[in-house]
């Protein structure tokens, strides 16, 4: 609808400009009425200026709209009354597009907040850092594991263990390592997994941390229980002949 109106408006202006040009040429060539020829020449210049202004006005509106979208200007609104029908329709279309962009932007913000809250409550520690070691993401579990209130750079880990910054920098995608951390809470066995992610053409390394000390303790206890059972069985096998001989001697 908008394009049809613009086409009709431009076509009408071009036709008027063409007819005025032909009339002006005929008047000048015939030399019958030079005053009228000068008037039509002035009209020709005026129509050309109005056509250029009309095209530039539309271009300026669209350019202003894209600049506002780029700068995330949520207050942008074009008046939809008091102009030509084609310009009002253009304004309505731009306003609708802007509303859709704002709704999409708000939905993205809500989704981002949801995933941030979800990550903060995850039992697995997560950090993301760039090639220079700057940490852009770290959840509460990761900061708790390393005893840091604020985690902005890998070099902060030197206070925990001097080898950790270089260890994490040298990790590759899909690699998994087991590290041991000693702090006031005791010794922790931490499983580290890595993966790469590209955000806005900027490579990021994502590490996940899982405290597997409890799992190792359970496995160690299970191993001791199995060992005790085997030893008990062997001891009972050794005692059985002695018990039999004792009963025979007693009788």
Task: State the Cα–Cα distance between residues 60 and 58, nearest whole angstrom.
Answer: 5
Task: State the Cα–Cα distance between residues 10 and 4, nearest whole angstrom.
Answer: 10
Q: Break the chain into its structural domains and give their ranges.
A: 1-14+61-121, 123-212
Out of 118-132, 173-187, 206-220, pick the least confident: 206-220
Task: State the Cα–Cα distance between residues 122 and 141, nearest whole angstrom.
Answer: 7
DSSP H helices, the chain, are 2-30, 34-70, 85-120, 140-146, 164-169, 213-250
More confident: 240 or 111: 111
The predicted pLDDT at position 134 comes to 92
For residue 230, pLDDT beyond 70:
no
**What is the average pLDDT across 5-19?**
74
DSSP H helices, 77-212, are 85-120, 140-146, 164-169
Kindly report the backbone phi and psi dihedral angles of residue 74, in degrees, each rounded to the nearest multiple of 5, phi listed first.
-80, -10
Kindly report the backbone phi and psi dihedral angles of residue 85, in degrees, each rounded to the nearest multiple of 5, phi listed first.
-60, -40
**What is the average pLDDT across 86-95?**
75
> By the 8 A CB rule, do 168 and 175 touch?
no
Task: State the Cα–Cα distance between residues 205 and 202, nearest whole angstrom.
Answer: 10
**What is the average pLDDT across 235-251?**
66
Residue 148, C-beta contacts closer than 8 angstroms, at least 6 positions apart = 156, 160
- Helix 85-120 / helix 34-70 crossing angle, nearest 10 deg: 10
> By the 8 A CB rule, do 197 and 173 touch?
no
Q: Which of 29, 34, 93, 32 is nearest to 61 (CA)?
A: 93
The predicted pLDDT at position 2 comes to 47
Q: List the strands of the sheet with 176-183, edge to edge.
A: 135-138, 125-129, 202-211, 186-199, 176-183
123-212: which CATH architecture?
Answer: 2-Layer Sandwich (3.30)
Out of 177-181, 197-201, 220-224, pick the least confident: 220-224
pLDDT averaged over every residue in the chain? 77
């Amino acid at each position: 609808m908008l394009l049809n109106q613009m086409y009709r408006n431009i076509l009408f202006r071009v036709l008027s400009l063409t007819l005025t040009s032909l009339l002006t040429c005929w008047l000048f060539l015939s030399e019958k009425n030079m005053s009228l020829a000068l008037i039509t020449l002035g009209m020709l210049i005026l129509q050309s200026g109005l056509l250029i202004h009309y095209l530039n006005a539309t271009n300026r509106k669209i350019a202003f709209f894209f600049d506002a979208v780029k700068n995330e200007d949520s207050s942008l609104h074009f008046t939809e009354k008091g102009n030509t029908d084609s310009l009002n329709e253009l304004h309505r279309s731009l306003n609708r597009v802007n509303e859709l962009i704002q709704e999409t932007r708000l939905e993205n913000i809500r989704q981002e907040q949801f995933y941030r809250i979800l990550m903060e409550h995850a039992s697995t520690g997560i950090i993301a850092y760039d090639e220079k070691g700057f940490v852009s993401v770290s959840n509460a579990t990761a900061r708790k594991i390393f005893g840091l209130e604020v985690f902005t750079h890998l070099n902060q880990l030197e206070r925990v263990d001097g080898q950790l910054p270089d260890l994490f920098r040298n990790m590759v995608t899909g690699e998994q390592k087991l590290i041991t951390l000693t702090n006031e809470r005791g010794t922790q066995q931490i499983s580290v997994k890595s993966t790469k992610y590209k955000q806005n053409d900027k490579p990021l390394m994502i590490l996940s941390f899982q405290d597997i000390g409890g799992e190792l303790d359970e496995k160690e206890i299970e191993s001791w229980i199995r060992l005790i059972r085997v030893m008990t069985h062997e001891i009972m096998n050794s005692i059985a002949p002695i018990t039999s001989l004792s009963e025979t001697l007693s009788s």
